[in-house]
Amino acid sequence: MSRDSIAANIAEWTETNAQHTDANAQRAWDHEGILWGVFAIPEEQVGALPDVNGLDVVELGCGTAYFGSWLARRGARVTGVDPTPAQLATARRMMQQSGLEFPLVEAPGESVPLPDASFDLAVSEYGASLWADPRKWVPEAARLLRPGGRLVFLTNSTLVYLCAPTDVDSMVGEELLRDQFGMYRIQWEGALGIEYHLAHGDWIALMRENGFEIEALHELRPHETAVDPNYYDYVTVDWAKKWPAEEIWVARKT
Amino acid sequence: MSSADERVAANVAQWTLTNAEYTDAQAERVWRKDAITWSVFGIPDEWLGDVNGLDVVELGCGTAFFAARLARRGARPVGVDPTPAQLETARRMMREIGPEFPLVEAPAERVPLPDNSFDLAVSAYGASLWADPAEWLAEAARLLRPGGRLLFLTTSALAHLCTPEGDEVPITNSLVRPQFAPWETRWEGYQGVEYHLSHGDWIRVLRENGFVVDGLHELQAGPDAKSHEYYFVIPVEWARRWPGEDLWEVHLG
């Protein structure tokens, strides 16, 4: 089932890279701090990540690898994994320009050609966390991590999934537009890509089945001075100040 | 905000009223049932496991029918509740139907029982909804032995967001209250004080008290379920589409 979503998501992200992420790669790579999500919430305010200095880190669904670059600048040994060649080409250009180089692997989060127990931290920032089949990528993350290693991933909240109009260009509202029971995989109208959204109970069950202990669910709230997102404009800042639009899960491999 | 004593007193007043209006009259019916179910939609238990021989504390036991069913399966329960009227009903049921087991009049925030004395703590719409989580979870952790389990059922985080003001109004299909809000909730026309947490907050406060999260069971009403005659806020049609109730399963690490 996930083979078709991998191909669909490569098509989606090849297009998005041409429209947005390639042109924005420089700005994202140049940023000094670690930011979370469409409201750019600083990691210092969230506290989702451990001290990454000296850690072996794999980023699952790295895109143009700006998030990995922020971790590499803090002393992490990062490997970026992504299935979309166009985004990896952008990432390589940024590496040449910045001089900050780390390995990139062309692969989907569902099937990563890297050895077992070779990382201390697996991260995914709107990467595999939203675009890969969780029943495949969560076991891959567990396999790649050493005992005691951490999995930290950002994705949309369940509330966003429930309240998002079917049309990909419309804003999240306040009405529940679809059932929670049965939620897993969705292709929005007008979108090339296929997303995966799990209810909180299902995330917990899946991580527990794969040997993770749940450490935190950070339901993100934008800062008072935050403004509406400009490209990923599925939600307004006013909505996101009342309900979490994005969430970060933190789990530890036992 | 209010003092802890005032909040406990408000819930004792509320449950004295609810007992006179409903739970006392229903006690015989629910005490005569043996099946262990969760939820206002009567979902059969698949999470407690074998309770035979376990020391069990029920936090916010009300008329103690849930504990009675555990006792019939070989558990040694102790029921804890702050409302004298409900404990009086529980004692009458013990005499008329049985079995008998200890009852303690206390709020779950301050339980006069020794440390490390239970294998299992349960709360089905008890402390889980009516006691301050920062305090009752610390008490649950203190009462449990290492590795001991806690299972508690409460209104789902989503249902709370969709429930309007006014105690005669059912749930809606819209987000009518913010999630980023204080836990403590009071309703118009209702004396009781409830505590509603987001899932992220539940995980944080559970972890702070030494619990490992084993599961969050977001309960779905079954095909044969019917809307509850008294606890009607969440109709069965809603609870087939979205979880009206969350059952947390955790253990002391």
Q: What is the pLDDT of residues A150-173, one digit of tens each?
A: 999 999 999 999 999 998 778 999
pLDDT at B1 over 60: no
The residue in chain B having the minimum alpha-carbon distance to the alpha carbon of residue A182 is B241
Contacts of A118 (CB under 8 A, 6+ apart): A56, A58, A144, A146
Give me the percent of chain A exceeding a pLDDT of 90.
94
CA distance A125 to A133: 15
As a whole number of angstroms, the distance between CA B151 and CA B70 comes to 13
* Rounded Cα gap, residues A28 and A24, in angstroms: 6
Residue ranges of domains in chain B = 4-252
Angle at B61 between CA B137 and CA B245, to 5 degrees: 70
Question: Furthest-apart CA pair in chain A: how many Å?
Answer: 48
Which neighbouring-strand residues pair with A106?
A82
Residues in a beta bridge with A195: A186
Measured CA to CA, the distance from residue A63 to residue A75 in angstroms comes to: 20
User: Taking residues B111-129, what's their average pLDDT?
Assistant: 98
Smallest Cβ–Cβ distance between B199 and the set A163, A200, A205 belongs to A200
Task: Find chain B residues with C-beta within 8 A of A200's C-beta.
Answer: 199, 216, 218
Nearest-Å Rg of the Cα atoms of chain A is: 17
Q: Give the tokens for residue A232.
A: 């990923």
Read off the pLDDT of residues A88-128 as tens digits, 9 standing for 90 and up.
999 999 999 999 999 999 999 999 999 999 999 999 999 99
Please, where are the H alpha helices in B97-156?
127-130, 133-143
CB pairs < 8 Å spanning A and B: 84
User: Is residue A68 domain-resident?
Assistant: yes
Q: Which residues of A touch B242 (CB under 8 A)?
A: 162, 176, 179-181
Integer Cα distance of B185 and B193 in angstroms: 6
B14-55 pLDDT, tens digit each: 999 999 999 999 999 999 999 999 999 999 999 999 999 999
Residue from A179, A181, A215 to probe the interface with B (highest B Cβ count within 10 Å): A181
Indicate which CATH number applies to the domain containing A100. Answer: 3.40.50.150
In a domain, A160, yes or no: no
pLDDT confidence band for A32 (50 / 70 / 90): confident
**Domains: count for chain A:** 1
Task: Kindly report the CATH number that applies to the domain delimited by B4-252.
Answer: 3.40.50.150
Helical H segments across chain A, by residue range: 2-16, 22-30, 43-46, 66-73, 85-98, 128-131, 134-144, 158-163, 200-209, 237-242
In a domain, A241, yes or no: no
Residue B120 pairs in a beta bridge with B56, B149
Residue A239 forms part of a structural domain: no
Which residues form the domain of A12?
2-155+199-225+246-253
State pTM to two decimals: 0.97
Phi and psi dihedrals of B57, rounded to 5?
Answer: -115, 130
